[in-house]
């Protein structure tokens, strides 16, 4: 990934609805070169999809962060494929420190968050889960 790719990703983070022509102008490339870079970033998994950001936690629903510690001898890489199968999980980040993985989940209500938490706790290899409910989201 080079500087043009980083500029393209920054422009998409700022406004994912920018036209291809506007993105090309932002990064200083032709429209076709910009399209080729976008396609390559998608194929390589750097960009895994496009989403919307709505007002409030989970767009009038609720959101929570789950702080996971895996069992000794396990790794985040082993847990992530299992976590991806749980509906409502939107992001997963491996972190340094006492916590191994930070998982963000969204649901229509608290009961949905409890269902997600129960699914996480039930996974083999998960040693501990702490839940942090989102009260307000700032952008």
Across 14-35, average pLDDT: 89
Residue of 103, 106, 87, 83 whose CA lies nearest to 95? 103
Report pTM: 0.60
Q: Which residues pair with 66 in a beta bridge?
A: 103, 131
Structure token digits, residue 5: 């790719």
Judge residue 17's burial from the number of C-beta atoms within 10 Å of its C-beta, 0-12 exposed, 13-18 middle, 19 or more buried.
Answer: exposed
Across 54-58, average pLDDT: 49
Across 20-48, average pLDDT: 90
Give the pLDDT confidence score for residue 16 in this predicted structure. 81
Across 128-138, average pLDDT: 90
pLDDT of residue 49 exceeding 90, the answer is no
**d(C-alpha 67, C-alpha 17), whole Å:** 32
pLDDT of residue 6 exceeding 70, the answer is yes
CA 72, distance to chain mean position in Å, is: 25
């Amino acid at each position: 990934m080079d500087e043009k790719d980083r500029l393209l990703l920054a422009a998409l983070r700022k406004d994912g609805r920018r036209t291809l022509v506007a993105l090309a102008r932002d990064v200083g490339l032709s429209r076709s070169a910009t399209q080729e870079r976008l396609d390559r970033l998608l194929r390589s998994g750097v960009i895994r999809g496009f989403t919307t950001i709505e007002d409030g936690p989970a767009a009038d629903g609720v959101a929570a962060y789950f702080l996971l510690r895996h069992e000794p001898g396990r790794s985040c890489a082993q847990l992530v494929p299992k976590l991806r199968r749980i509906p409502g999980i939107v992001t997963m980040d491996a972190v340094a420190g006492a916590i191994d993985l930070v998982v963000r989940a969204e649901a229509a209500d608290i009961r949905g968050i409890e269902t997600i938490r129960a699914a996480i706790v039930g996974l083999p290899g998960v040693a501990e889960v702490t839940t942090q409910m989102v009260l307000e989201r700032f952008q």
